[in-house]
Amino acid sequence: MNLDEIRNRIFTAIENEEKRQHEGVNLIASENLSSDDVRRAAGSMLAHKYAEGYPGKRWYGGCQYVDECEEIAVDLAKKVFGAQYANVQPHAGAIANLIVYTALLSPGDTIMSLLLNQGGHLSHGSPANISGKLYNFVHYPVKESDCTIDYDEMERLALEHKPKILLGGASSYPREFDWKRMRQIADKIGAILMADVAHTAGLIAAGVHKPVFPDVHVMTTTTHKTLRGPRGALICAQEEFEKKFQSGNFPGIQGGPFMHMIAAKALALRETLTDEFREYQREVLASSAAMAKWFIDRGKRVVTGGTDCHFFLLDVYASYGVNGDQAEKRLMEDNIAVNKNGVAYDPMPISKTSGLRIGTPFMCSRGWKTADFLSLAEQIDKTLTTLGESDPSPSPESFKKRK
Ligand SMILES: *Cc1c(COP(=O)(O)O)cnc(C)c1O
């Protein structure tokens, strides 16, 4: 391969990806379409600047302009989430969580979070992730009856295991967390209450979901999911944690901050304060809820019987006799991107799953309204009905036997 060819291939791939994002239907709940402002900052020359440390206290000279960007981003993060403290440097959601754990705990300490196969995230104690290797995670479940979080069981487990951090927030749990109830539980055992709102931060910023402060002690979030900013993350907390998180981030885990992404975070946070953004998040939730209801009205199984957020979980095995993997691949043939997703108490193996996670943020950013999502629901229903008739999934038991 010659050098020009390499260049061509990369720029062609970028163009093709842009085209794919403009033309395909994207229902991936963790993705979004950021503004021109955000992308302009993210691709700016701020990327070249080394700025280890914090505004006014850097290890390098020439930081006057990036300092201004970071100060604005911090002020906006505090304002948007009602927090006393914010750190906008974390490069990603998983890293933000690691910064919080390492700043507050010693290896071997106990953290309690939602079961990973019922909606929790990898960074909430998966044995394959550093979190699960460093800390002793115990998990609380959802109820078998309706798949909503069992707060009584959470309390019982918390009293039994006495975690130092009680962690709420998830990647594929479609209901709002009860932060007040969780704070009562945390207070009974002197635990720190942590909210990982990576998925729902945009809904919170727009006032569509309740604020997490002052109920929680610390909040982490990505900035690229519903928040509609650049790839990255931030930490917000009560004032008392300032010292721990400042040094926990740098030099604790990270080196130089990505100043271009911090400028982009400031612009994304600014956008959350507009009427347009609040209207957008209302549409995101309304579309997701309307689509979930469309399937329920036709006798299909939606996990928890609906949604409070920007996505819902359709049990395609119970509804159409196909597994999540088959449904994902079949819909992709029609240029509809969704992801297969385990449902709580899923009989299917994790590589197949019974569910699809269907989210509205990306398409709402492209201007879709509820009516557009309802015609799409009809199309998806037809496709999956046909697939179930022509190519039904083998039973969960047969996958087990094959192993
Ligand atoms: C997406 C997500 C993360 C991780 O974010 P990355 O930026 O991919 O590291 C962490 N927690 C939850 C709940 C998430 O959904």
| CA–centroid distance, residue 121 to ligand 1 (Å) | 7
The reported pLDDT for the residue numbered 315 is 98
The reported pLDDT for the residue numbered 403 is 52
Instruction: Give the phi and the psi of residue 113 in degrees, each rounded to 5.
Output: -145, 175
| Model pLDDT for residues 105-156, shown as the tens digit of each residue | 999 999 999 999 999 999 999 999 999 999 999 999 999 999 999 999 999 9
Q: Quick one: average pLDDT of 21-25?
A: 94
Q: Which of 67, 70, 155, 196 is catalytic?
A: 196
| Model pLDDT for residues 71-88, shown as the tens digit of each residue | 999 999 999 999 999 999
Distance CA 55, CA 53 (A): 7
**Cis peptide, bond prior to residue 90, ω within 30 of zero:** no
The reported pLDDT for the residue numbered 292 is 98
Please confirm, yes or no, whether 67 is among the known catalytic residues.
no
Please confirm, yes or no, whether 397 is among the known catalytic residues.
no
221 Cβ below 6 A of ligand 1: no
| CA–centroid distance, residue 225 to ligand 1 (Å) | 9
Q: Which of 200, 220, 222, 383 is catalytic?
A: 222
The reported pLDDT for the residue numbered 153 is 97
Residue nearest to atom 6 of ligand 1 (CA): 93
| Model pLDDT for residues 380-392, shown as the tens digit of each residue | 999 999 999 999 9
The reported pLDDT for the residue numbered 253 is 98
The reported pLDDT for the residue numbered 400 is 79
Q: Quick one: average pLDDT of 26-51?
A: 98
pTM of the model: 0.97
The reported pLDDT for the residue numbered 139 is 98
Please confirm, yes or no, whether 231 is among the known catalytic residues.
yes
**Cα angle 266-166-93, degrees, rounded to a multiple of 5:** 30
Cβ 340 vs Cβ 331: under 8 Å: no
Please confirm, yes or no, whether 75 is among the known catalytic residues.
no
- pLDDT band of 269, cuts 50, 70, 90: very high
Give Dmax (Cα) for the chain: 67
- pLDDT band of 402, cuts 50, 70, 90: low
**CA dihedral of residues 2, 42, 276, 306 (deg, nearest 10):** 70
The reported pLDDT for the residue numbered 1 is 79
Q: Quick one: average pLDDT of 196-201?
A: 98
